[in-house]
Chain A
């Protein structure tokens, strides 16, 4: 018989601790969805829930581009700058076009908090490039007039 150890704390069981830490990315996504972005408060709460330090959470969150450490607009417009988009005349012209229409630069949010413009890497829609994604919705074969329509529709939605 193996004697059972008198006290089993969490740090005595690295696998158990590891499982908790493995929830971090998922927890950050949930927090981001609730708060709209990862504010100090959101990070604090995630850290408390998972028994991590704020530093551990921040260091991990800041590594990944999909975790937002600044407030985001309601619609995150993500323009693909992948090569296939670029080759069919997308990427830069589309980014510039939207930037001019919304009056913001990539990475910025409109003052009304409605739109954030982001330049992203390949959206894996290369066969139907140029591609633009708004939040989780993918728009393919984009043209300037398709962007006009898209922005107009989003403007009218609450």
Chain B
């Protein structure tokens, strides 16, 4: 019997996933299963085409053919440096020494980046499959996933996934009845950012202090236990099965000529829609921030976007039409890095912003090489001075001098890139630095040494809320009388502004 009621479009219908602006422009390759499958059940991964690529590689292709596909796809390492993955594999394959190791760098430490965590938690098998394919290609029988210990759920899901893959015969001896054997182990980090650097990472797997060493020799020649090793990022491995399954042409057709495929960004900061996005390379910053991210909240003005995390750089509004890919971002003055994208609005002081990253990076210096250990410290001193209103005119030259030396003389990428955010903010927001130094003003009204909190007399009702909430006891005044903030006691924490219901406190 037919229903007499005709279906009407219901305004309350939940929109389709692909109709949401946040998802419409996304193309999900590495994130294709995240949130869709149950990561604790290998059956659900298999149902979505999982381990088909591994089967294809080991039963139908030679290792050289696998490397050929990877080279043709021009997949560039998603860890940040953007080296072509296929070429890296070829180096490892040609290295004569044995055994060889396959290593996954899952030591995602950039503040503002959480894509590796999401892939490991939401789709651990894609990484395992990618690593197994890499192992087949380079001729390795043993792999390690070096994962941040701060990610207990990722580690738990990986453990389950590895166990299940062993039970199904995707790891272990004679995979798919061939001569190819491969097994995989998890190594937990212990909270050292520098261990994301590949030579430091391998030192840490070996149970030593995670200090980098000079390259060459590159890991492909002499890596873990001085044997040939192939180190790739989580995202690179997660994309590998799709490339093997769908072919190099398919992958190369997405994105741009020199940076094919998709880029994953963790969109955070002063933006309406935060979260992980995967877009074709070449999408512009404007599309990401406004179309996908929904713009800046509270009607505020966009000021800058930091890409590449604490070792990257910030870009101003003029650079919003920059396409995101490895080369364009570098050309514009930032880096791709591992994919953090932090948006800040007009309320952010760029000196303080740069200082934040510098504080992070210099604290994480392992201390082995002098330019990084001392350069970072000196640079931080200069920035702190400027932020406190004690900056000197020659400080800007000093920043450039120290930065150049760090860039040229540091042992690893941590030291070389530590000055990045400072240099980028100085390049694009020089006037803010100059305002701090010459006018002793913080244009964004953030730097504590350069601002004072004041009561707006006309608005103050004398309700005493600010006085009660002031942690420093800097506010005085009787009930129903205009209050007063003592600038010598005030710690510029901003609590009074938050609690005042009458907009009676301002920053000068």
Task: Enumerate chain A interface residues (CB-CB to B < 8 A).
Answer: 14-15, 18, 21-26, 28-29, 59-60, 63-67, 82-84, 86-87, 93, 96, 100, 120-129, 133, 136
Contact = CB atoms under 8 A, between A and B. Distances in A.
Contact of B269 (A15, A23, A83, A122): A83
Contacts of A128: 274
B239 to A, nearest CB: 20
Given A22-B205, A87-B269, A87-B342, A63 B210 contact: yes
Interface in B435-483: 471
B143 to A, nearest CB: 14
A121 B361 CA distance: 11
Interface in B314-368: 340, 342, 344, 348, 356-357, 360, 364, 366
Contact of A127 (B193, B207, B275, B306): B275
Contacts of B189: 25, 64, 66
Main secondary structure of the interface of A (DSSP, over half): helix
A16 to B, nearest CB: 10
Contacts of A29: 149, 188, 190
7 smallest A-B Cβ distances: which pairs?
A64-B190, A24-B207, A122-B111, A124-B114, A66-B191, A65-B191, A82-B111
Given A65-B190, A65-B192, A67-B190, A124 B206 contact: no
Contacts of B348: 87
Query: Most B CB atoms within 10 A — which of A23, A83, A87, A120?
Result: A83
Contacts of A67: 190
Nearest to A21: B207
Given A18-B206, A96-B471, A121-B191, 19 more contacts: A15-B225, A22-B187, A22-B207, A25-B207, A26-B188, A29-B190, A63-B192, A63-B209, A64-B190, A65-B192, A83-B111, A83-B342, A100-B471, A122-B109, A122-B112, A124-B151, A127-B114, A129-B268, A136-B152
Interface string B264-302: 001111100011100000000000000000000000000
A124 B148 CA distance: 11
B108 interface: yes
B208 interface: yes
A37 B117 CA distance: 27
B222 to A, nearest CB: 13
Contacts of B191: 64-66, 120-121
Contacts of B507: none
A150 to B, nearest CB: 18
A119 to B, nearest CB: 11
A105 to B, nearest CB: 15
A19 B348 CA distance: 49
B72 interface: no
Contacts of B434: none
A19 to B, nearest CB: 8
Given A25-B207, A87-B342, A66 B114 contact: no
Interface residues of B, number: 50
B269 A18 contact: no
Chain B CB count within 10 A is highest, among A18, A28, A100, for A18
Nearest to A60: B209
B150 A123 contact: yes
A83 B314 CA distance: 14
B61 interface: no
A120 B193 CA distance: 12
A1 B350 CA distance: 70
B175 interface: no
Nearest to A67: B190
A102 B45 CA distance: 46
A83 B109 CA distance: 12
Contacts of B112: 82-84, 122, 126
Contacts of B208: 21, 24, 60
Given A25-B190, A25-B204, A63-B192, A84 B111 contact: yes
Contacts of B190: 25, 28-29, 64-67
B493 interface: yes
Contacts of A122: 109-113
A60 B275 contact: no
B210 A124 contact: no
A10 to B, nearest CB: 15
8 contacts: A23-B207, A24-B207, A93-B495, A123-B150, A124-B108, A124-B148, A126-B111, A129-B268
A22 B344 CA distance: 42
B231 to A, nearest CB: 16
A128 B276 CA distance: 12
B273 to A, nearest CB: 9
A66 B149 CA distance: 8
Select the residue from A23, A25, A26 with max chain B CB neighbours within 10 A: A25
Contacts of B188: 25-26, 29
B494 to A, nearest CB: 8
A144 to B, nearest CB: 10
Contacts of B270: 87
A96 B268 CA distance: 23
A84 B152 contact: no
A51 B213 CA distance: 25
Contact of A22 (B150, B206, B210): B206
Contacts of B151: 124
A125 B210 contact: no
A152 B219 CA distance: 50
Contacts of A23: 207
